[in-house]
Amino acid sequence: MKAVAHIPRTRRAVALISGGLDSMLAARVMQDQGLHVEGLNFFTGFCVEGHTHAIRNNPNRKPRRNNALWVAEQLGMPLHIVDVIEEYKSVLLRPRHGYGANLNPCLDCKTFMVGKALEWMQAHDFDFIITGEVLGQRPMSQRRDTFPVVARESGANDRLLRPLCAQLQPPTLPEREGWVDREQLYGFSGRTRKPQIALARQLGIEDYAQPAGGCCFLTDVAYSRKLRDLWQSRAKRDYDLDDIMLLKVGRHLRPKPHLKVIVARDAGETRYLRGYRKRFTYLDMTSHNGPLTLVEGERDDADVELAARIAARFGQGREAKSVSFQFVSRDGIERELQVAPFTVDEVLEDWYL
């Protein structure tokens, strides 16, 4: 009886793909070692990627692509986008390791995502997880002392490989088992992007996303301030998807503790805010071109007039004596309203969130 030759199975890695250069490089490096790689991209609701750019008008800008999809297409690998909006609430609202400079729970976030990737890996018969993390690049989740925390608390342990800085870390299971050649991995560290850019050039990757300000709104000081205001005004730390999407759109002003006004900044935002008319009282400017304004928490006519005078400031009638609005309450009652626009000085700096 002839012995049957054992053909080793192609090892399978699942890559966390943000759409940026680092995760792209990590996935590509694994592909170049002959592994089968598929991408995972998690949608928390706080991702900067894609949708927020779609809301605002900018005729000069190229249509925005989703960079995670684009990376996957460039690398010829499947990408699975996973809605984690609900599950992510516990990460943001109760982070074990606290927040960074703003409301960014980066260490808990990374642990959560690697944990979700582990679930996916096990359900789809993959062997290990890769990320594009670089030692020392981020102050909270990408440190020598926090890398092991992510591996341990996610449950991935040594099935978590970071190809771009693996040579600075103890060998992981894929390296020890010879699924991956450690010699062909990298030892990048620090905040400089030069090694990644050089590697991209070496690999023939010329086009990649250049994220400005990170990929998550929670690292943004203005966004975090608006989210804190939301929680404070409701005396409750909670949110739904509409809440967190709305914080990305329009000018947000709070002229009284109970009263919030959201004024669209252009026609694209007006179009988007129209989708919220059933949830909010709103003001639609009728005498001049101007933005749609959502009003939250109004208690009386004085509040409505205050909101309208603010809204009038941001339309083409800002210098007019009077600006007219169609006012529609949350229960659908409509009436006409005329107000004198605030002057620029009357819209107090403190009102802006």
Partner 1 sequence: MSTYQLDATGLLCPLPVIRTQDRVATLRQGDVLSVHCTDPGALLDIPAWCRIHGHELLSTQENEEEVLICIRVRK
- Please select the residue that binds partner 1; options are 18, 23, 41, 224, rule is CB under 8 A: 41
The sign one gets for the Cα dihedral 41, 44, 49, 50 is positive
State the nearest-atom distance from the C-beta of 215 to partner 1, in Å: 13
69 near partner 1, rule: CB under 8 A: yes
- Minimum distance between the CB of residue 83 and partner 1, rounded to whole angstroms? 5
Tokens representing 105?
């729970």
3-state class (DSSP) for residue 289: coil
How far is 281 from 331, CA to CA, in rounded Å? 8
Give the whole-angstrom CA distance, residue 259 versus residue 256. 5
Nearer to partner 1, 18 or 142 (CB): 18
Q: What token pair was written down for 351? A: 């009102």
By CB under 8 A, the residues from 208 to 267 that bind partner 1 are 245
- Using CB atoms within 10 Å of the CB of residue 178, give its burial: 0 to 12 exposed, 13 to 18 middle, 19+ buried: exposed
Smallest distance, partner 1 to C-beta of residue 118, A: 20
Residue with tokens 């998550």: 216
Least distance (Å) between residue 41 CB and partner 1: 8
Of residues 176 through 195, those in contact with partner 1 by CB under 8 A are none
Q: In the set 33, 36, 50, 155, which binds partner 1 (CB under 8 A)?
A: 50
Alpha-carbon distance 17 to 189, whole Å?
Answer: 19
Burial state string for 181-205 with b = 16 or more CB within 10 A and e = fewer than 16: ebeebbebbeeeeebbeebbeeeeb
Give residues 270-309 in contact with partner 1 (rule: CB under 8 A). 272, 275
Chosen residue from 16, 48, 72, 337 binding partner 1 by CB under 8 A: 72
Q: Which of 46, 44, 45, 50 is nearest to 71 (CA)?
A: 50
Which listed residue (70, 99, 231, 352) binds partner 1 by CB under 8 A?
A: 70
Positions in the binding site for partner 1 (CB under 8 A): 41, 43, 47, 49-55, 63-66, 68-70, 72-73, 77-83, 245, 272, 275
